[in-house]
Structure 1
Amino acid sequence: MTQPAHLHADRLFPASEPARSIARELYPAVKDLPIVSPHGHTDPSWFAQNGRFSNPTALFLTPDHYVLRMLRSRGLDYDDLGIPRKDGKPVETDGRAAWRLFAQHYHLFAGTPSKTWIDHSLHWAFGIDEELSPATADRIYDAIDAALATPRLLPRAILDSADVEVIATTEFALDPLTHHQAMEGEGLIGRVRTTYRPDDVTDPSRPAIIENLEKFAELTGEDVARWDGLINAHRKRREYFRRFGAVATDHGVPTANTADLPRVEKQALLDKVLSGRHDASDAELFRAQMLTEMALLSVEDGMVMQIHAGSRRNTDPALFAERGTDLGADIPRTTDYVGGLDALLSRCGNEPNLRLILFGLDETTYARELAPMAGYWSSLMIGPPWWFHDSPQGIRRYFDQVVETAGFYNLAGFNDDTRALLSIPARHDVWRREVCHFLGNWVAEHRLTRSSAEDIARHLSYQAAKDAYKIA
């Protein structure tokens, strides 16, 4: 019987000898290292409440925008997949019916990282090696559903089984962190950490920006109509987030543009936003100034600053109006990091307490901009491939373009950036295999010694993320 592709011993390893042999020898030393997941979007209520997942669809389908966007691209209706609507109109509530529809179209995922992650998860968590299809849909659904009723598939048990040492969720500035408060009482803070994402009060393109800033003022007791008061409100919230383990901030911005305006111009810009008189160019300038302000606060408090730039979000206005954000309609765009970050780096790029991790969707910037920048600025590190490029081929392109200029130790290791809990061990396994793939080739070409490759493989698979995010 042919072994399933996701179980093959040589999966993702080089095709030629001796590189494949070297990669296979490197892999055992890294495959079982603890997982450090310092940036992601799993639901904190999973860990706080530790309740069972309701059904297989809630685990694999509805939280995963990678899966949803592919199904929508072939004309499937989100109502039939059980995705809630803002207007409260009924959608499919039978998880099995949505699962059957998913299985019927599973062939669409051939060649995508989504299939790699799902196949790995089915085997790792449930021992399922059958291919998902209309013929196997009910059998696989029943096997998953039965396992979900057992203690070993509760969220905290999954963290234990995957040997997740640290996992970070991501919450907006106005989030009360209710679930993290509950976890604090159980001693889970440290293993499960929050991350400060202030986009809800730093992005004037959001329809509720004025209301959000008013809530921000109430929450912090600061006069956010004054620029100094606004910055102090962020200072207070960052301190509050650190109480619940936060070591990093995250900024999802359409461009990497930064600014360093005089005080009077900053106040005038804030006045425009609060009065609702701002336009798209004002919104871009406000975001740009706030990135510099966040960097200055990172110099103060040492929080690692992550910039996820280059996504044009919610590009389908009908989907956004109907169901909301993060449902697959975000599209990459070109990004200028050298020009965009000039103001920020000129202001504080040489500060020893600043750690800035850059993520991008524009792969043309890897060799041209990101690697040279990280290869010079001590404050900069390159984040792992993000989103569409968190894949075997994407990781290969990344290493090929950044290592020769930035080296290995200006890379921030790996973070899975996922909303799907069971994809975490799958994604880390792909990364670790690709690390060994790359290093195996370099050892075979006598560009690295075997001992150096062993050290680098362990570093990139585990320690790099802890170092980059200052996790003790």
Structure 2
Amino acid sequence: MSPSDQVLGTSVEAGGATGGDWVLHPDRALPAEPGVRALAREILSAVSDLPIVSMHGHVPVEWFVENGSFGNPAELLVVPDHYLVRMLVSQGATPAELGVPTRTGSGVTAEADPREIWRRFCAGWHLFRGTPTRFWMETELVDIFGVTQRPSAETADAIYDRIQAVVDSPDFRPRALLDTFGIEVVSTTDPAWSDLAQHHRLAAEGLGDRVLPTFRPDAVLTLTSPTWIADVARLGEAAGVDTGSYAGYLEALRLQRERFKAAGARATDHGLATTDTTPLSDAEATRLYADALAGRVTPEGSTAFAGHMMFQMAAMAAEDHLVMQIHPGVLRDHDPAIAAAYGPDKGYDIPLAIEFAHGLRPLLNAFGHHPGFRAIAFTIDEDTYSRELAPLAGVYPGLKLGAPWWFLDAPDAMRRYREAVTETAGFFNTTGFVDDTRAFCSIPARHDLARRIDAGYLARLVTEHRLDLDEAVDTATYLAYRGPLEAYAELAS
């Protein structure tokens, strides 16, 4: 029974619709060949109800602290979802027309009427055909909100009213939805200077083992960031350390990592542009740091310092056992005018070609066999899967492969990932599925899709007599549940 059924007292059949013509096929995203599909159904049935482990998310911690209403359908489903927004923008809409908030003084006024934002989305529903956004959204609309009509300009208002009735229920609040969605644990992403006060409050209220912080230091590792000096000062203030020296800066990072871990963090998150992890001498690092504080920064110096600091982050990880999540190779804020008007993370981050073998070599040579070190590598350059990432994860015990990321978080890309990495790295050098979302209601939809794709891939191996069915079910359970738990489990000190 969906949350909407619990709230409104209706009954939705297995196909997802009652009193209407919109039905989601129970075999969606499973293989088309009948024999393989039958096995995929059996494998999927063994994992479909397993708890969700969501260890890399961008859901704001404030949602769980405040535990308030999500407001309206536009605020919940459209505005924070950059996958959805970017598609409509590509067809002529502006972020402002979709309610994306603007920066003060940008000269752009965001649409304030949530119903108008929702109408724009519904009128553009056809644009999402064939995309994972379509799969996620239709799963949310039918399974969570009990919607019985396909979105369109004509049905927009009726669907809005249906969703609003669910959203207005006191049972449809962030904390309650952890149980409704079957989320066992979820991580937020927090800046290096966070005081973690909100996480401490959640811990005091019994959610400390369920909503976990993640340490994200990118802003203080990138010397060319326009806010770097201010961000380093905030880091020092949070840690209670003078960051006027390179030594103080390192100590502040160590202290903040310790505080994050004490608050339940299991991982750090790194999204720098390159994979370079070449360490510098202390003298050179000290010089670059001092120059940056004085406003003397070059792109080359910033790149070298960032690579050095990734090595330092690995050294600290070997000591405190926080898992390094590494997802490089993104040209962020491709359109500077959009970034100036709306800020970052608005759908203009574009994948770049990236290499891992040389970049990660210093880090893996130093820590890849260290018993206290673990890193998870993600990429949106899928050319690297079989050429570099699978061979690296297939030999270094300290490295695992993360799930298909961002634009690769899609059915065919997930299948290509399994085909590219399994023959070299196997299944157990991967983490299983790890989502990356700012849209809370998409979490169960994303995990459902990943479980369907893995069930289909494993079913094919069974029909080819490369796996027995019991092995396929066990592997599916690992990929859906055990793998993420094990990948982020705390190592013994």
TM-score where L is the length of structure 1? 0.97
Cα drift, residue 267 of structure 1: 0.9
Given the alignment, which residue of 336, 359, 365 partners 1:317? 336
Cα drift, residue 7 of structure 1: 2.0
SS across alignment from 2:171: helix
SS across alignment from 1:411: coil
2:9 counterpart residue number: none
Cα drift, residue 130 of structure 1: 1.7
What one-letter code is carried by the residue in structure 2 that aligns with 1:203? Answer: T
CA distance in 2, matches of 1:232, 1:470: 25
Matching of residue 422 in structure 1 with residue 441 in structure 2: yes
SS across alignment from 1:403: helix
| Mapped contact 2:59–2:440 kept (Cα < 8 A) | yes
SS across alignment from 1:410: coil
What are the within-5 Å matches in structure 2 for residues 207-218 of structure 1? 207-218=226-237
SS across alignment from 2:198: helix
SS across alignment from 1:18: helix
1:37 counterpart residue number: 54
> Displaced runs of 4+ in structure 1, greater than 4 A?
1-6
2:270 counterpart residue number: 251
CA distance in 2, matches of 1:92, 1:223: 43
CA distance in 1, matches of 2:225, 2:16: 52
Given the alignment, which residue of 99, 122, 140 partners 1:103? 122
| Mapped contact 1:225–1:270 kept (Cα < 8 A) | no
CA distance in 2, matches of 1:33, 1:108: 32
CA distance in 1, matches of 2:142, 2:16: 16
| Mapped contact 1:65–1:328 kept (Cα < 8 A) | yes
Cα drift, residue 323 of structure 1: 1.1
2:7 counterpart residue number: none
- Alpha carbon RMSD of aligned pairs, Å? 1.6
1:379 counterpart residue number: 398
| Mapped contact 1:151–1:157 kept (Cα < 8 A) | no
Identity %: 44
CA distance in 2, matches of 1:17, 1:73: 37
What are the within-5 Å matches in structure 2 for residues 319-338 of structure 1? 319-338=338-357
For these two proteins, the number of residue pairs brought into alignment is: 472
What one-letter code is carried by the residue in structure 1 that aligns with 2:94? Answer: D
2:159 counterpart residue number: 140
Cα drift, residue 224 of structure 1: 2.4
1:206 counterpart residue number: 225
CA distance in 2, matches of 1:344, 1:16: 44
| Mapped contact 1:332–1:361 kept (Cα < 8 A) | yes
1:451 counterpart residue number: 470
| Mapped contact 1:5–1:11 kept (Cα < 8 A) | no
| Mapped contact 1:260–1:347 kept (Cα < 8 A) | no
CA distance in 1, matches of 2:85, 2:399: 34
Cα drift, residue 36 of structure 1: 0.5
CA distance in 2, matches of 1:399, 1:109: 25
2:194 counterpart residue number: 175
CA distance in 2, matches of 1:297, 1:441: 42
SS across alignment from 1:32: coil
Cα drift, residue 213 of structure 1: 1.2
Cα drift, residue 5 of structure 1: 8.4
Cα drift, residue 371 of structure 1: 0.2
1:388 counterpart residue number: 407
Given the alignment, which residue of 352, 363, 369 partners 2:371? 352
1:241 counterpart residue number: 260
1:61 counterpart residue number: 78
| Mapped contact 2:279–2:309 kept (Cα < 8 A) | no
Cα drift, residue 354 of structure 1: 0.6
Cα drift, residue 342 of structure 1: 1.3
Structure 1 gaps, min length 5 = none
What are the within-5 Å matches in structure 2 for residues 218-237 of structure 1? 218-237=237-256
Structure 2 gaps, min length 5 = 1-14
Distance 1:244 1:124, change over 3 A: farther
SS across alignment from 1:250: strand
Cα drift, residue 86 of structure 1: 1.2
CA distance in 2, matches of 1:78, 1:362: 27
What one-letter code is carried by the residue in structure 2 that aligns with 1:388? Answer: F
Cα drift, residue 129 of structure 1: 3.3
| Mapped contact 1:6–1:119 kept (Cα < 8 A) | no
CA distance in 1, matches of 2:490, 2:417: 25
Cα drift, residue 471 of structure 1: 5.7
1:127 counterpart residue number: 146
CA distance in 2, matches of 1:75, 1:285: 40
What one-letter code is carried by the residue in structure 2 that aligns with 1:322? Answer: A
1:156 counterpart residue number: 175
Distance 1:193 1:99, change over 3 A: same
Cα drift, residue 357 of structure 1: 0.1
Segment drifting more, 438-447 vs 226-235 = 226-235
Q: Alpha-carbon deviations, 1:161-184, whole Å to 9, x = none? A: 111000001011122333213212
Distance 1:286 1:241, change over 3 A: same
1:263 counterpart residue number: 282
Matching of residue 404 in structure 1 with residue 423 in structure 2: yes
1:83 counterpart residue number: 100
Cα drift, residue 200 of structure 1: 1.7
CA distance in 2, matches of 1:5, 1:236: 53
| Mapped contact 2:56–2:189 kept (Cα < 8 A) | yes
Given the alignment, which residue of 294, 311, 315 partners 2:313? 294
Q: Alpha-carbon deviations, 1:182-230, whole Å to 9, x = none? A: 2122111110001000112111221010111122222223232333322
CA distance in 1, matches of 2:71, 2:16: 34
Given the alignment, which residue of 29, 32, 37 partners 1:12? 29
TM-score where L is the length of structure 2? 0.93
Cα drift, residue 79 of structure 1: 1.9
